Amino acid sequence: MTFLEAWRLRGTVDLDGGSLRPWLLGIATNTARNTRRAARRHEAAVTRLPREEVFPDFAEDLVGRIDDAGQVAMLQAAVSRLRRAEREVVALCIWSGLDYAAAAQALGIPVGRSAPVSRAPARSSANSPASRFRLKVGTGRRAADR
C-alpha cells in the first residue's frame, strides 16, 4: 500500500536533491495510521450488526426419528400378532420392566405354570426388532440387559 500511495503522490515530491527516505517514511506512517483507523471503524460497524441466530442441525435427530418410527411400526405389528394375554405379558415384562415373577403376580397366575408369561417372548420373530427385547427364559431379565 505504501508504494501505491507513493506512486499516487509522486507529483508532490521535490526532486531537487536530498533523500526521498523522509518523504517515503511519512507516506508509510500515514498509510499505517489510515489502515488501522479503517480497521477500527470496520470492527465497530461489525459489532453494531445484529448477531446471527445459530440454529442446531436437526438432520441427525430427524434421521433417528424416522428410523425409530419404522422400528416402532414393526414392533407394533409384532405385538399385534400376539394374543391378548401375551400382549399383557409384553407390556408388563418389557415396557414396565417387571420380571417373570412380578408379571405372573400382576396377572394372577402361578410362576411355574406354562402360561403366557413364558410363551409371549418365544412367539416373537427372531428377525423382528422385538427380538432384541426377548426375555431370557427363567431369569425374568431382558436379553438386552445381559
Whole-angstrom distance, CA of residue 122 vs CA of residue 130: 11
Same-domain pairing of 130 and 87: yes
Tell me if 56 is assigned to some domain.
no
Same-domain pairing of 85 and 140: yes
Tell me if 126 is assigned to some domain.
yes
CATH of the domain at 140: 1.10.10
The number of folded domains in the chain is: 2
Alpha helices in 52-140 (DSSP H): 59-80, 84-90, 100-107, 116-123
Tell me if 12 is assigned to some domain.
no
In sequence order, which residues have a C-beta less than 8 Å from that of residue 138 and are 6 or more positions away? 100
Q: Which domain holds residue 100?
A: 77-145
Mind listing the pLDDT tens digit of every residue in the chain (146 residues)? 888 888 898 888 877 878 888 888 998 999 999 999 999 999 999 999 988 888 888 888 888 888 899 898 998 888 888 888 788 888 888 878 888 788 888 888 877 654 455 555 555 544 444 454 443 333 444 444 44
Tell me if 138 is assigned to some domain.
yes
- Cell reading at 33: 495510521
Tell me if 69 is assigned to some domain.
no
Tell me if 41 is assigned to some domain.
yes
CB-CB neighbours of 96 under 10 Å: 11
pTM for this entry: 0.37
Given a contact cutoff of 8 angstroms between Cβ atoms, the answer to whether 131 and 121 are in contact is no
Q: Which pLDDT belongs to residue 43? A: 96
Same-domain pairing of 44 and 86: no
Same-domain pairing of 90 and 139: yes
Q: Nearest-CA neighbor of 1 among 39, 34, 41?
A: 34
Tell me if 39 is assigned to some domain.
yes
Task: DSSP letter for 110, please.
Answer: -
Tell me if 15 is assigned to some domain.
no
Given a contact cutoff of 8 angstroms between Cβ atoms, the answer to whether 116 and 89 are in contact is yes
